[in-house]
Homo-oligomer: A and B are copies of this chain.
């Protein structure tokens, strides 16, 4: 008999305001974004990727990121907000706005990194180095490293844990001395639960230490979303990225749908008494608010179920 010991707590990192809003081409009013983020906070979300400090020419949807951060940063002292930054300039803007956790993305596969950020992996790691140096000088700031295409690349196919290891090893050296969380990102949703388990097991064997956090970022495109997340937490992940209502997609990953719906994950975790701090009923209210944003593509199982049929 296999023992069943889920962790007592898992961090849910809500990414709808970044991955999700970004997938919507039509401009969203800032007030609507603030309303949706507030609904997520009201539901008990404690970690939230609030957006990206990127050029508004590159991603117009993120042009109001400064205004959104200013709205929330003082009001919510207990929230752990993070923001994606592509380079030192973005990092400086994020830090100036009061953000204390930066997210940097590099894909394990060259071709996906090239299409996603128009840089080689080495160029991205060089950017990471500049940001890490700045954070070491400054102190008191966390770094989340999203390793894109950690299981599969839309252009190169299967990605082995050894390929992830090669990038992770360089990244860890670069980030020495920082409080670092590594996210293995199943960008395409093609990973199976067994691949997820293998990558977490192997990479944690090689890299685990007390100041390193592990997260899983998944999509439900292939129907593996919940299973992948559970296999991740049973093999060492302590944080799960998810998007309420399943809002999202990746413009550079053909066929990809949004991140696994936060409500589907919370439902599964509740079943194992895994604490997330999130109130499922209020989260579904937030999901309804997000699902009615014009131009958004959503994918949630739980929203299809009558409310009275939820535990």
Residues of chain A whose beta carbon lies under 8 Å from any beta carbon of chain B:
1-6, 154, 158, 188, 190-195, 197-198, 201, 204-205, 220-227, 230-231, 234-236, 254-255, 261, 264, 267-268, 270-273, 300-302, 304-306, 309, 311
Contact = CB atoms under 8 A, between A and B. Distances in A.
Contacts of A267: 192, 222-224
Max chain B Cβ within 10 angstroms of own Cβ: one of A158, A198, A255, A309: A309
A306 B255 contact: yes
Contacts of A234: 1-2
Contacts of A254: 306, 309
Given A230-B193, A235-B2, A306-B255, A223 B225 contact: yes
14 contacts: A1-B205, A2-B5, A4-B194, A4-B197, A192-B267, A193-B227, A221-B305, A222-B264, A222-B302, A223-B226, A224-B226, A224-B301, A227-B227, A230-B231
Contacts of A192: 267-268, 270-272
Nearest to A204: B1
A225 B107 CA distance: 30
A158 to B, nearest CB: 7
Taken together, the copies of this chain in the complex come to 2
Nearest to A223: B301
Contacts of A226: 193, 223-224, 226-227
Contacts of A305: 221-222, 255
A223 to B, nearest CB: 3
Nearest to A5: B1
A6 B231 CA distance: 12
B2 A268 contact: no
Given A221-B301, A230-B227, A194 B6 contact: yes
A10 to B, nearest CB: 13
Given A222-B267, A227-B230, A201 B4 contact: yes
Contacts of A268: 192-194, 223-224, 227
Contact of A309 (B231, B255, B273, B306): B255
Nearest to A2: B234
A271 B235 contact: no
A254 B270 CA distance: 23
A188 B304 CA distance: 13
A182 to B, nearest CB: 17
The 10 closest A-B pairs by CB, nearest first: A192-B271, A223-B301, A194-B272, A227-B227, A223-B264, A194-B271, A226-B227, A2-B234, A4-B197, A1-B234
